[in-house]
Structure 1
Amino acid sequence: MAKQITLNIKRLALMSLSIMLLAMFAIACGGSDTSSSSSSAAAAPTAAPAAAAVTKTEATNSDERITVLIADLEEERVFPPLAGGPDVKYLRVFMDDMVSTMGGGDLVPGIVSKWEVSADGTTWIIDISDDKGIKWHNGDPLTVDDVMLSLEQERGQLAVDMAEAGCFNVTETAYVKYTKSLDLGPGDNQITYAQNRVALNFPFNFSQSGQDEKGMVLPAAYVRPMIAAAEAKGSNEMDCFTEFEENPIGTGPFSLESYDLGLKYSFDRNDDYWFTKANGFVEDRIPQIGGIDMEVILEGSTRLAALQSGEADLIEANMNLVPTIEADSEMNVFWQEENSMLWMIYIDCWEEDMWCFTKESRQALQYGTDTRAIQEALYGKGATHEGHGWATTNAMGYSSDLDGFPYDPAKAKELWAAAGLDDSVTFKIWTWESGSFPFLPQVAELMVTDWKKNVGIDVDIEIGDQAAIKQSWNNRNLPGDMLIRDNEARYDGTSITVGGYCNHDTRWRMNEPETADGAARCKVIQDLALNHVVTGQEQHDNFNAAYKFIRDEGMHWGPFYSNVPWGAGKRIANYEPWKLVPYFTAPWTITLK
């Protein structure tokens, strides 16, 4: 069935006048936010963290629809390879990833029913479930070629071809160089993927617990003709997959029936969803509600007003909204723990004449920042002061000695002087307003205040558009500055570690492996963790050692992570968002009273 689609250029008013008035009231009560981007699973993945405690009410299955309000998106594309991380909020509602999970690092059979790695850790053979009745929303059965295409466009020559044809961004080809071969077989429903490096993270990287869209399975019979047409045309402007974007299909628990791009998305329950115990899977994931109407509402106060009025049933909230929600006996809060990490990056500090080239200079600012006070003042329960970057509390490789540097102004002064620096150092902090991790500009302001007091420097703060700042960063236009941003938490940090420290083609890298200093840094990380073919506790210990080295080097830091509260209205009985998985997760757990 053809989907209705509206490609809106200008943001429209989405809520009624009553919601606007309620928003004004919420603002007066202090409820607002500043809303407006891997990994490795071993062959024997560890158990997922225990779910957070929630208040449950007697629930019933229902054909009724609910309205979900989310804070922000990124690329706002419906064809997954063109989308950004936050777009997973709507993509995973109607699409499936190759490897299923229970959240965190707990991988379970799904579209990929089995995965085995070679003794040297470089080659994976995956089995595709071709006997479970998995169907696309148009009725076509899922085939092994669907998974093959999905891998080809991410890790094969096809990704390069599509970039050259103007269909993909060239930045999406950074990992193709690691692919040695990608073939169908040896069995009829199998694929063999070989890399030229140890790649124990492959299953996790293409799973439901991943931080982006790379694992989402594409319908080959539908998409391959679009690829052929684009290659024949030879010059495109990122519009090669218009047909898919006008009529998107997936295999997920809901079907996408209509949408206004970047504004609202309407999903209907897929009553024939394949992930059930009857089909041999670990649990039943047929939704218990009739549909989801998802809208993007940037202002937290407006989302809260909609929840209070009953025009919304579930909202992506923030710490400022929680007291108001919890004070209402008809509303509830369901916490999504370890959702996003705070990420502070010294940008391109690779040249010896740069102020941030030495480890002492970078560490000085960490010792000179009272990060715990910042976390407590701005976030409270909404953030946890543990971990370092993506090594959060329940991530592989975490230990408490990875927690942030202690606040030590005297140590900061000592290191700053040892680096040969004084109060004449100047640079900028770049940041933006983030829906998933609010108050980034306020974090920057408090950091700058600490640095002025402890090492005497004046630092300017530039608050801008997320996409524009990322582009400047990726184009190497901000050397010697600092970036404060949020990024997705994840159980397994293999991919982001490789990309950040050992891959010159990664545009967002923190380390330059083509310099002598950067190459040495990468080699230490490889020797400690990346080149070892081990699982379980041994893999955890290896990554713990690598993360301790990374923490000490100080090319980036991230002393706390966010826990996202989902505000639920009076109709919602229960919701169980996954821990250590970003964005909107597990919609099949939503039940009504």
Structure 2
Amino acid sequence: MKTFRFKALAMMVIASMAVVGCSETTKPAPASTGTPTGSSTSAPTSAASKGPQKLAILVPNLPPVFGNFKEPSFQPGVTQHVFPAVETLVGMTKEGPAPTKLATSWEIAPDGKSITFKLRQGVKFHDGSDFNADAVKWNIETIKDKKDELKIITSIDVVDPYTVKFNLSEYSNTLLYHLAWYDGCIISVKSYKGQTPEYIASHLIGTGPYQVESYTKDTKVVFKKFADYWDKGKPALDTLELDLVKDDNTAKNALLSGQAQVWDYVPPKEVENFKKQGYGVNVTPGLIRIGYPDSANADSPFAKKEVRYAIEYAVDKKAIADAFGGGTFTVPQAPAAPNTHIGASAVTEGRSYNPAKAKELLAQAGYPQGFKTSIFSQAATNPELLTALQGYYKAVGIDAQIQIVDAAKMSSLRVEGWKNGILIQGLSTSNANYIQALQTDGPSPSKAKSALVTPEYSALLKKAAQATTPAAQKELSEQMVKLTFDEAVISPITVESRVAVYAPSVQNLDLSAFSIWFWNPGNITLK
């Protein structure tokens, strides 16, 4: 593991800690492409070239296969990459769930025990089959028993070809949010039923404005315009492609040289430079970067609440936000995003940086000399952030070894559990519903098995999801925020940002504009 050296953090830490060095780590520049890469390069100003309209978006990750969409192996976290081809039952705007996709309206029964959806008519899948109530029923029934948040759906009735009724064991104010994401994605029944495993693994057939033309593993996915798209006049582009570029310098060069028109997941430090050069910039709150200590294992140091408090006091969250966020990260007081999650204001003063307090708590817990542990994370987490955490923990006596794991191993750790370690992941900020974020990324036996889930937590989570008025939802969400803070089962680190930069020729791009996940590829145009 390379040594973390970050000047901004070093200035924030007392001299005795010796957490970091004094110079900033820089990445080696890629081989020259003949395009200047300095700040003097200006954004392209010419209109889109005549002929077929094509847009290239640079992304840091792609699904390992572009298929297997209803299989347990599919990673819902990359659902955003299928949105050009696949649409959801419920749409999402910055105000919340909206009838902008395949459902044109819905009605919740007075007792909350059913939701009836009216469906958009005249919609075709890319294989020519019809979108209808039978397709919705099959899509939801195929996954509902595998998804905790959908288990409240007891049955689905096809009322008529374009009306479908979800019968519920109980009301949940989070269900519509889930149906706007992976759970609500609708694909062609014909593309699954009766098909070979090889076909299913290599085909993704939806109703979206684009259809998949080709997919090259670890390289790119190319979408072409779907001529029979239901929203007439869209899409304006003939081709949209997602190009996998993991190296920031390579991505920057490709955007500046015009090889691509959009760069998603831009490092925050690049924002001001691109603005000065005339590029458009979309910024939205990203994931809350959190740590899950293995608090459910009785023999773990983290089973003691004092230790869980200590790891929060050990970390200078403001220094991390300043060093890595470029003015776009925020400091969480609790495991909730300020200005995003309903209820986040319930905790106004979190566990601020206090290494002396951290050492005191460790001593009270029986660890005056500290202990050894592990930090588990995927490669997508900034390695310098992980090294900063390692340094902060070391300064109070916790010797943490960083273990980078692949997606399959991370999935295994979440489901099967981990021992004496802190699992680093994200907590969703895709919308304001804090309860939905906990249902998606919070502690549970199926998603973070080694994180403590108390009966009080489970009962309050269920009660908050059943709130039927905004006032009740706010009150119960505030209680949920306070409970997660008091139990410290989730250790908040920073609220990241997600940044997309685009050339002036790109119009109507809402990628990273109002949500970390949701966007509308069919609206994009080039001038």
The answer to whether TM tops 0.5 is yes
Cα distance in 2 between the residues matched to 1:89 and 1:521: 30
Pair 468,74 (structure 1): closer, same or farther in 2 beyond 3 Å: farther
Instruction: Give 1:257's aligned residue.
Output: 213
Of 228, 244, 248, the residue aligned with 1:296 is 244
2:95 aligned with 1:147: no
Cα distance in 2 between the residues matched to 1:60 and 1:301: 26
Letter of the 1:146 counterpart: A
Cα distance in 1 between the residues matched to 2:526 and 2:350: 41
Instruction: Give 1:100's aligned residue.
Output: 91
Give yes or no for contact 2:289–2:496 (8 Å, CA) kept in 1: yes
Give yes or no for contact 1:502–1:519 (8 Å, CA) kept in 2: no
Identity value in percent: 19
Instruction: Give 2:177's aligned residue.
Output: 204
Of 490, 508, 519, the residue aligned with 2:455 is 519
Of 408, 412, 429, the residue aligned with 1:489 is 429
Q: CA deviation at 1:327?
A: 4.5
Pair 288,327 (structure 1): closer, same or farther in 2 beyond 3 Å: same
Q: CA deviation at 1:377?
A: 0.9
Secondary structure in structure 2 of the residue aligned to 1:198: coil
Q: Which has the higher strand share?
A: 2
Judge which range, 459-468 or 422-431, deviates more.
459-468
Q: CA deviation at 1:380?
A: 1.8
The unaligned stretches of length 5 or more in structure 2 are 1-28, 40-44
Give yes or no for contact 2:108–2:115 (8 Å, CA) kept in 1: yes
Listed one character per residue, the Cα deviations across residues 31-52 of structure 1 (whole Å, up to 9, x for unaligned) are xxxxxxxxxxxxxxxxxxxxxx
Alignment of 1:148-227 (within 5 A): 148-156=137-145, 172=146, 174=148, 177-185=151-159, 187-207=160-180, 210=181, 213-226=182-195
Instruction: Give 1:393's aligned residue.
Output: 339
Alignment of 1:549-560 (within 5 A): 549-560=483-494
Give yes or no for contact 2:191–2:203 (8 Å, CA) kept in 1: no
Secondary structure in structure 1 of the residue aligned to 2:282: strand
Give yes or no for contact 2:90–2:179 (8 Å, CA) kept in 1: yes
Instruction: Give 1:451's aligned residue.
Output: 393
Q: TM-score, normalising length from structure 1?
A: 0.74
Q: CA deviation at 1:341?
A: 2.3
Instruction: Give 2:4's aligned residue.
Output: none
The unaligned stretches of length 5 or more in structure 1 are 1-17, 30-55, 157-171, 227-239, 277-284
Secondary structure in structure 2 of the residue aligned to 1:224: coil
Give yes or no for contact 2:346–2:482 (8 Å, CA) kept in 1: no
Of 348, 354, 357, the residue aligned with 1:411 is 357
2:519 aligned with 1:561: no
Give yes or no for contact 2:427–2:437 (8 Å, CA) kept in 1: no
Give yes or no for contact 2:118–2:162 (8 Å, CA) kept in 1: yes
Instruction: Give 1:319's aligned residue.
Output: 268
Instruction: Give 2:291's aligned residue.
Output: 344
Q: CA deviation at 1:592?
A: 2.2
Listed one character per residue, the Cα deviations across residues 382-441 of structure 1 (whole Å, up to 9, x for unaligned) are 42224644545223333273675322334323333332332242111112321xxx52x3
Secondary structure in structure 2 of the residue aligned to 1:373: helix
Listed one character per residue, the Cα deviations across residues 165-206 of structure 1 (whole Å, up to 9, x for unaligned) are xxxxxxx45556544223323x55332323334322111111
Judge which range, 300-309 or 557-566, deviates more.
557-566
Q: CA deviation at 1:534?
A: 1.6
Higher relative contact order (CA 8 A, sep 6+): 1
Q: CA deviation at 1:75?
A: 3.8
Of 405, 414, 418, the residue aligned with 1:464 is 405
Give yes or no for contact 1:77–1:245 (8 Å, CA) kept in 2: yes
Instruction: Give 1:479's aligned residue.
Output: 419
Letter of the 2:327 counterpart: K
Aligned residues: 490
Cα distance in 2 between the residues matched to 1:394 and 1:197: 26
What is the root-mean-square deviation of aligned Cα atoms in Å? 3.3
Q: CA deviation at 1:118?
A: 3.2
Q: CA deviation at 1:313?
A: 1.1
Alignment of 1:328-407 (within 5 A): 328-329=277-278, 332-347=279-294, 349-386=295-332, 388-389=334-335, 391-399=337-345, 401=347, 404-407=350-353
Instruction: Give 1:66's aligned residue.
Output: 55
Pair 74,358 (structure 1): closer, same or farther in 2 beyond 3 Å: farther
Secondary structure in structure 2 of the residue aligned to 1:73: coil
Pair 522,591 (structure 1): closer, same or farther in 2 beyond 3 Å: same
Give yes or no for contact 2:312–2:492 (8 Å, CA) kept in 1: no
Q: TM-score, normalising length from structure 2?
A: 0.82
Listed one character per residue, the Cα deviations across residues 305-356 of structure 1 (whole Å, up to 9, x for unaligned) are 1112111111122224435534434xx1422302322121113x22333211
Instruction: Give 1:43's aligned residue.
Output: none
